[in-house]
Amino acid sequence: MDRSKEDAVLQWEIQNFMGLVGYYKRFIEVFSRLALPLTKLTRKGQTFLWKAQCEESFKYLKKRLVSALVLIFPSSREYLVVYYNASKLGLCGVLMQKCQVVTYAFRQLNTHEKNYPIYDLGLAAVFFMLKIWRHYLYGSIFEVFSDHNSLKYLFDKKELNMRQRKRLEFLKDYDCN
């Protein structure tokens, strides 16, 4: 990266900086967790109080923005793998092929999603990943991995609410293991 452009990024105002970093969030691992202190600062009605946590987040995101990241363009002949994680902090995932990163996806939870049980958060994470990576995954065979088995519970459950039914029906459009 050109040194003058790198210096401009390192001197950026917070709101403009968050707009720029938000554009590149799919290339920054665990973006939503890193950006949370700064995101809270830019919310409407929020008192602007710059804490050490904000400074640390700001410096780290600047560093990640100007560092080189190697992503691959996926081959249609190779198997894709979706890794996801869902927690009370947010939803995140990575799309990989042959142990190399294709893209990342992250988002914070909505107010009502913070009350979801963990299996609903897992389903929300898979639903989110499949929606944004539809152009990669639709018509392809791929696998979905997680660090817990919360989705298996939903597939065996007899009674589902409408949100769960809608999301499980959406999963049927894909050929995933």
At 86 the pLDDT is: 86
Q: What percentage of residues in the chain have a pLDDT greater than 70?
A: 89
Tell whether the model's pLDDT for residue 27 goes beyond 80.
no
Other Cβ atoms less than 10 A from the Cβ of 144: the count is 21
At 73 the pLDDT is: 87
| pTM flag (> 0.75) | no
Mean pLDDT over all residues of the chain?
Answer: 81
CA 62 to CA 120: how far, in whole Å? 34
For the chain, where do the domains classified as CATH 3.30.420.10 start and end?
80-176
Read off the pLDDT of each residue in 15-31 and give the average, rounded to a whole number. Answer: 73
CA 17 to CA 21: how far, in whole Å? 6
At 95 the pLDDT is: 92
CATH H superfamily, domain 80-176: Ribonuclease H-like superfamily/Ribonuclease H (3.30.420.10)
Residue 39 tokens read as 């995101």
* pLDDT interval class at 8 (50, 70, 90): low
Tell whether the model's pLDDT for residue 172 goes beyond 90.
no
At 18 the pLDDT is: 78
Q: Among positive and negative, which fits the CA dihedral 141, 131, 60, 20?
A: positive
At 80 the three-state DSSP class reads: strand
Q: How many Cα neighbours within 13 Å face the side chain of 58? A: 19
Read off the pLDDT of each residue in 91-105 and give the average, rounded to a whole number. Answer: 88
Read off the pLDDT of each residue in 132-154 and give the average, rounded to a whole number. Answer: 82
At 9 the pLDDT is: 56
